[in-house]
Amino acid sequence: MTQVKATNIHYHEGNITRDERWKALGVKGATMWFTGLSACGKSTIACALEQALVNQKVPCYRLDGDNIRFGLNKNLGFSAADREENIRRIGEVSKLFADAGILTLSSFISPYTKDRDAARAMHKDAGIDFIEVFVDTPIEVCEKRDPKGLYKKARAGEIKGFTGIDDPYEAPTNAELIIKTAEHDLEACVKQCLDCLAKRGLISLA
Ligand code: ADP
């Protein structure tokens, strides 16, 4: 549980509402949250989706696990407490980006249900759409792909607490979208995301 340390703080409202901002800018913010095992395809899909959206001039931005650990979360490791704080911060950052009117594509293993649910809850409280995308790729397939050689290292005991090997992955039970990359190619997976966004009125299909 995150300790609140600051006292005597007051929320300062702006002069315009979110709706006014979105209408004036012609945008709609939301968070699409990709979760799944390492190498399941989160980043690959988010990158291709980002490209497709930018081509349609939809303001969007990708927040990616490793990238965020180079900066904002460089002081966090992979213990359960650090993973929780990692996801809490990303949840908050995603919410801010979405509030600004950006379609935010957040791809993080985010293995624990309670941390994903906390990210979902902070969006719900703020009235911002949160679309959980479970990139559901069997671990055998992820391990065979192993683009970064991480499964090999984890099996050799060189990485401790690796999700799916010696740390749990709690599969979502209420995801808005389930993508099976072992059965569909990248293009089809991106199409599934675009269809989902269109169905929710967040984009119009090109
Ligand atoms: P993650 O971000 O989940 O760790 P990556 O996107 O880095 O995973 O790696 C996924 C690997 O799976 C890449 O090498 C990618 O080319 C491959 N892959 C094969 N089929 C698909 C697919 N349908 N969708 C996404 N990635 C796929």
Q: CATH no. for residue 191?
A: 3.40.50.300
Would you say residue 187 lies in a domain? Answer: yes
Would you say residue 139 lies in a domain? Answer: yes
- Residue 92 C-alpha to ligand 1 middle, in angstroms? 26
Structural domain including 84 reads 26-199
From 44, 66, 159, the mutation candidate for ligand 1 (largest count of ligand atoms within 8 A of CB) is 44
Give, for 182, the enclosing helix (H) or strand (E): none
Q: Quick one: CA dihedral 37, 40, 42, 43, positive or negative?
A: positive
Q: Whose CA is nearest to atom 12 of ligand 1?
A: 41
What b/e sequence results for 139-178 when a residue is b if at least 16 CB atoms lie within 10 Å of its CB, and e otherwise? bebbbebeeeebbeebeeeebeebbbbebebeebeebbbe
Confidence (pLDDT) at 1: 62
Could you read off the pLDDT tens digit of each residue along the chain, which spans 206 residues? 678 888 888 888 899 999 999 999 999 999 999 999 999 999 999 999 999 999 999 999 999 988 999 999 999 998 889 988 999 999 999 999 999 999 999 999 999 999 999 999 999 999 999 999 999 999 999 999 999 999 999 999 999 999 999 999 999 999 999 999 999 999 999 999 999 999 999 999 86
Confidence (pLDDT) at 185: 98
- Residue 136 C-alpha to ligand 1 middle, in angstroms? 11
Would you say residue 2 lies in a domain? Answer: no
- Residue 157 C-alpha to ligand 1 middle, in angstroms? 24
Q: What is the arrangement of strands in the sheet containing 60-64, beginning at the earlier edge strand?
A: 60-64, 103-107, 30-35, 130-135, 177-179
pTM: 0.95
Would you say residue 58 lies in a domain? Answer: yes
Ligand 1 atom closest to the Cα of residue 181 is 23
Q: Whose CA is nearest to atom 18 of ligand 1?
A: 41
- Residue 106 C-alpha to ligand 1 middle, in angstroms? 15
Ligand 1 atom closest to the Cα of residue 44 is 6
Give, for 91, the enclosing helix (H) or strand (E): helix 80-100
Catalytic residues: 107
Would you say residue 117 lies in a domain? Answer: yes
Kindly list the protein residues whose Cβ atom lies closer than 6 A to any atom of ligand 1: 36, 38-45, 107, 145, 147, 181, 184-186, 189
Per the structure, how many domains does the chain have? 1
Would you say residue 17 lies in a domain? Answer: no
φ, ψ dihedrals at 127, nearest 5°: 70, 30
Would you say residue 14 lies in a domain? Answer: no
Confidence (pLDDT) at 198: 97
